[in-house]
Amino acid sequence: MSDNLTKERRSWNMSRIRSKDTKPELIVRRLLHSEGYRFRLHRKDLPGKPDIVLTKHKSIVLVHGCFWHRHKNCPDATLPKSRKAFWDDKLSRNVERDKVVESTLRRAGWKVVVIWECETTNPELILTRIEEAIKRK
């Protein structure tokens, strides 16, 4: 099926997609704050400018969109039908960059937790995963 939007309208839509303060990120931040956690956002001195940095616990929470970061076995991570080569290349680069950022942070002594967009409907799961990461040595 072809795109039913004009090239200009599609471009305008895509320009409105945010990289910070996304809905999933706000959900996780609200939850952490309500549980008494205090954090910093998008620290520029860390690789990849992580979404949430729990400095006191030397932990980082990365909130990934299922589509943009290719969440395996998630229905939201489908590849668009048009311009497949472009999207495959673009999204593959995102996944590779994620791996590099995560390993760099871990080598620097940070505990890293990835929360996927589709998981933000389950607050207990989010808290459990973050608290387990914080307790790890």
CATH class assigned to 22-135: alpha beta
Do the beta carbons of residue 115 and residue 24 sit within 8 Å?
Answer: yes
Calculate the CA dihedral of residues 53, 55, 57, 60 and round it to 10 degrees: 20
In this structure, how many other beta carbons lie within 10 angstroms of the beta carbon of residue 50?
A: 23
The single-letter code of the amino acid at 86 is: F
Q: pTM score, two decimals?
A: 0.85
pLDDT of residue 9: 81
What φ, ψ does residue 106 adopt, rounded to 5°? Answer: -65, -45
Q: Output the pLDDT for position 2.
A: 60
8 pLDDT exceeds 90?
no
Distance CA(80)–CA(19), nearest Å, equals 20
Helices (H) and strands (E) in the chain, counts: 5, 4
CB 50 within 8 A of CB 60: yes
For 26-35, how does the pLDDT look when each residue is reduced to its tens digit (9 = 90+)? Answer: 999 999 999 9
